[in-house]
């Protein structure tokens, strides 16, 4: 297993990216290619003893795509940028996966232009795991496409179901279409047209419409929506989780000695809760639908997040998700409709 890591992408690059890569090399035993400014990367690696023995190499690049640049224009003009070169290493077969915490738009664009889409897939989709009371729910799309046709949502449901089964180990995952009500006739035109197409699929366990509250309850294993709605849900969930933890800390601080004593007794439970709500436990989200393994991490990723994201890439490759998606596309006639 060899993973290309965009060392220059992210708010805390290259320090946290490099630290996370070193941690992952130790944890997963995979080879890692750090792509970016070699001088800056080596300066960070000097703080990590024994990194030379971990199968870590550096691939120098002279350019970086900044967060405020137009993704398509930047990918086309900055041929020697870290995310473009890292993606190209996967295309050329030198690496098994690419990981970036930089501009999501640039990472998605690079994957589509360089790796290309899987034949039969209209638009790639970002699949993000969301912690629930029953484990985890995979939501897609969470930001790759703000507008999607019904067939794109159907394809997302198929790919999400495969990922949930072969990476999370969920047998016959329950798939739901995010909507404003359970009834088949509810929702906007997009939702009403998508519902009957999902019912036609033989390869997924479509369980009907999922309402917003069903996501944190874990009533579905896979929830599909367009990238606009999905990204709003995701950012709301992230903000709510942080707010809950902050409110708990403030209540303990203002509650006097008894509250502090109670918190001390509850500390192991609170730590477990914090861990379940911590996005860094999952690290990265796969971009499903492209001919290669592409993992996208949050811009604010720290070393722990990057390490977890490399673990996601590892599981994606070992789960042979790409092969299973291609096989299912051949079996499902409805998925091959014009997209």
pLDDT score, position 235: 84
Number of CB atoms found within 10 A of residue 232's CB: 13
Mark whether 162 and 53 lie in a shared domain. Answer: no
Mark whether 277 and 131 lie in a shared domain. Answer: yes
Domain stop point among 264, 281, 298:
281
Mark whether 225 and 249 lie in a shared domain. Answer: yes
Does residue 37 lie within any of the structural domains? yes
The CA distances from residue 251 to 198, 242, 254, 261, 265, in Å, are: 46, 14, 5, 13, 15
Does residue 179 lie within any of the structural domains? yes
**Omega into 14 within 30° of 0, i.e. cis?**
yes
Question: What does the pLDDT look like over 207-235, one tens digit per residue?
Answer: 999 999 999 889 999 999 999 999 898 88
Query: Residue 202: pLDDT above 70?
Result: yes
Mark whether 2 and 82 lie in a shared domain. Answer: yes
- Give the residue from 71, 237, 219 showing the smallest Cα distance to 145: 71
pLDDT score, position 196: 92
Looking at residues 27-32, what average pLDDT do you find? 93
The token pair at 193 is: 């047209």
Does residue 327 lie within any of the structural domains? no
Does residue 49 lie within any of the structural domains? yes
Give every CB contact of residue 33 below 8 A, 6+ residues apart in sequence. 2, 3, 4, 5, 56, 57, 58, 59, 86, 89, 94, 95
> Domain containing 200: what range?
127-281
Question: What does the pLDDT look like over 81-123, one tens digit per residue?
Answer: 999 999 999 999 999 999 999 999 999 999 999 999 998 898 9
* Global confidence as pTM: 0.87
CA 338 to chain centre: 27
Mark whether 13 and 80 lie in a shared domain. Answer: yes
Domain stop point among 281, 297, 331:
281
Separation of alpha carbons 207 and 177, rounded Å = 8
Does residue 325 lie within any of the structural domains? no
Q: What proportion of the chain, given as a percentage, has pLDDT over 70?
A: 93
Give every CB contact of residue 41 below 8 A, 6+ residues apart in sequence. 7, 14, 18, 34, 58
CATH number at residue 145: 3.40.718.10
Mark whether 199 and 169 lie in a shared domain. Answer: yes
Helix (H, G, I), strand (E, B) or coil at 136: strand
Does residue 334 lie within any of the structural domains? no
Mark whether 143 and 262 lie in a shared domain. Answer: yes
What sign results for the dihedral spanned by CA atoms 312, 314, 316, 319? negative
User: Do 9 and 99 contact (CB within 8 A), yes or no?
Assistant: no
Mark whether 69 and 183 lie in a shared domain. Answer: no
Matching residue, tokens 């664009």: 109
pLDDT score, position 338: 47
Mark whether 46 and 11 lie in a shared domain. Answer: yes
Number of domains in the chain: 2
Mark whether 212 and 84 lie in a shared domain. Answer: no
User: How high is the mean pLDDT of the chain?
Assistant: 88
pLDDT score, position 15: 94
- Give the residue from 137, 105, 101 showing the smallest Cα distance to 124: 105
Mark whether 248 and 139 lie in a shared domain. Answer: yes
Q: Categorize the per-residue pLDDT at 163 as very low, low, confident or very high, splitting at 50, 70 and 90.
A: very high
Domain stop point among 281, 299, 329:
281
* Burial of residue 247, with CB atoms counted within 10 A of its CB: 0-12 exposed, 13-18 middle, 19 or more buried: exposed
The token pair at 10 is: 């992210």
Does residue 333 lie within any of the structural domains? no
Does residue 335 lie within any of the structural domains? no
CA 235 to chain centre: 13
Mark whether 132 and 263 lie in a shared domain. Answer: yes
The token pair at 159 is: 């790919």
């Amino acid at each position: 297993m060899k993973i290309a890591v965009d060392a220059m992408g992210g708010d805390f690059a290259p320090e946290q990216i490099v630290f996370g890569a070193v941690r992952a090399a130790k944890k997963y035993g995979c080879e890692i290619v750090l792509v970016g400014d070699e001088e800056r990367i080596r300066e960070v690696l000097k703080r990590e003893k024994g990194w030379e023995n971990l199968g870590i190499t550096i691939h120098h690049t002279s350019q970086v795509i900044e967060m405020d640049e137009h993704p398509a224009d930047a990918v086309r003009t900055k041929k020697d940028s870290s995310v473009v070169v890292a993606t190209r290493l996967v295309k050329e077969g030198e690496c098994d996966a690419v990981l970036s915490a930089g501009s999501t738009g640039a990472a998605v664009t690079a994957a589509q232009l360089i790796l290309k889409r899987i034949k039969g897939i209209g638009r790639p989709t970002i699949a993000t795991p969301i912690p629930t009371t029953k484990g985890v729910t995979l939501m897609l799309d969470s930001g790759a496409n703000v507008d999607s046709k019904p067939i794109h949502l159907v394809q997302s449901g198929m790919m999400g179901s495969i990922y949930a089964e072969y990476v999370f180990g969920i047998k016959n995952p329950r798939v739901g279409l995010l909507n404003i009500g359970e009834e088949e006739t509810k929702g906007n035109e997009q939702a009403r047209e998508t519902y009957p197409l999902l019912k036609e699929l033989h390869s997924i366990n479509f369980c009907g419409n999922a309402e917003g509250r069903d996501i944190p309850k874990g009533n579905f294993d896979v929830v599909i929506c367009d990238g606009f709605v999905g990204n709003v849900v995701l950012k709301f969930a992230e903000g709510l989780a942080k707010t809950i933890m902050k409110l708990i800390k403030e209540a303990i601080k203002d509650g006097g000695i008894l509250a502090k004593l109670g918190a001390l007794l509850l500390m192991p439970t609170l730590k477990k809760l914090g861990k379940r709500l911590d996005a860094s436990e999952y690290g990265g989200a796969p971009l499903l639908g492209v001919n290669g393994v592409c993992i996208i991490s949050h811009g604010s990723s720290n070393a722990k997040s990057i390490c977890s994201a490399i673990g996601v890439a590892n599981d994606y490759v070992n789960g042979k998700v790409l092969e299973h998606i291609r096989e299912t596309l051949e079996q499902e006639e409805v998925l091959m409709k014009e997209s």
